[in-house]
């Protein structure tokens, strides 16, 4: 492999590092390995982050027995909920393109199934969906969907922007 250092930039090509620590801004076409990758600061993974094993996104010590953990430190004051995870669908790509009814972030739950391509299928989801067309920040619903035996994922409950619950 190759290691190149010029102008405070490290370029690695076909090189293995057991436990790299990256500080500051790091740009890489791909990072793979079997040790620990620690990113001190912000991390941006452009197209995908594939993890085989355990993923910890944390500002403190990760919990044991968990395959994934997203954590933050407890607030020292105040009683408001802390934002720990943000699912966001920004509308910044094309000017003049409005979001439509039903758009919004979705948290999907997949379950193992060896007869499905990829070995799993979507068994349920929770989604925040726009109730109107346009770029207004209001009128969002929260929907929950589940999948019956040999069925398809179907919305089962909706809490609309007025607080009304439909089942």
Give me the residue label for tokens 């407890």.
74
More confident residue, 112 or 153: 153
98: DSSP letter: -
- For residues 45-57, give the mean pLDDT: 62
Would you state the pLDDT for residue 160? 95
> Does position 63 have pLDDT exceeding 50, yes or no?
yes
Q: How far apart are CA 7 and CA 73, in angstroms?
A: 36
- What are the pLDDT digits (tens) for 9-20? 555 555 555 555
Q: What is the Cα 31 distance to its own chain's centre?
A: 18
Could you tell me if 59 and 72 are in contact, meaning their C-beta atoms sit under 8 angstroms apart? yes
Render pLDDT for 67-91 as a digit per residue (tens, 0 to 9): 666 666 666 677 777 777 778 777 6
- Check residue 71 and give its pLDDT: 66
Instruction: Collapse the DSSP code of 152 into the 3-class scheme (helix H, G, I; strand E, B; otherwise coil) and give the result.
Output: coil
pLDDT confidence of residue 73: 65
Let me know if 127 is exposed, middle or buried by CB neighbors in 10 A (0-12, 13-18, 19+): buried
The pLDDT > 70 percentage for the chain reads 49
In the numeric block, which tokens belong to residue 73?
A: 């430190």
Q: Average pLDDT of 89-95?
A: 67
pLDDT at 22 > cutoff 90: no
Q: State how far the Cα of 95 lies from the Cα of 136, in Å rounded to an integer.
A: 15
């Amino acid at each position: 492999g190759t290691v190149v250092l010029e102008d405070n930039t490290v370029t690695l090509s076909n090189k293995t590092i057991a436990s790299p620590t990256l500080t500051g801004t790091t740009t890489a076409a791909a990072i793979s390995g079997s040790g620990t990758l620690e990113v001190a600061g912000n991390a941006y993974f452009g197209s995908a982050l594939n993890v085989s094993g355990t993923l910890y996104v944390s500002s403190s010590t990760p919990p044991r027995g968990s395959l994934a953990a997203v954590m933050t430190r407890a607030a020292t004051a105040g009683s408001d909920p802390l934002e720990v995870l943000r699912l966001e669908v920004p509308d910044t790509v094309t000017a003049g393109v409005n979001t439509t009814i039903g758009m919004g972030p979705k948290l999907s739950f997949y379950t193992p199934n060896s007869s499905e391509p990829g070995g799993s299928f979507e068994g349920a989801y929770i989604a925040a969906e726009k109730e109107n067309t346009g770029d207004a920040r209001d009128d969002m619903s929260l929907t929950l969907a589940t999948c019956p035996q040999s069925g398809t994922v179907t919305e089962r409950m909706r809490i609309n922007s007025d607080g009304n619950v439909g089942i």
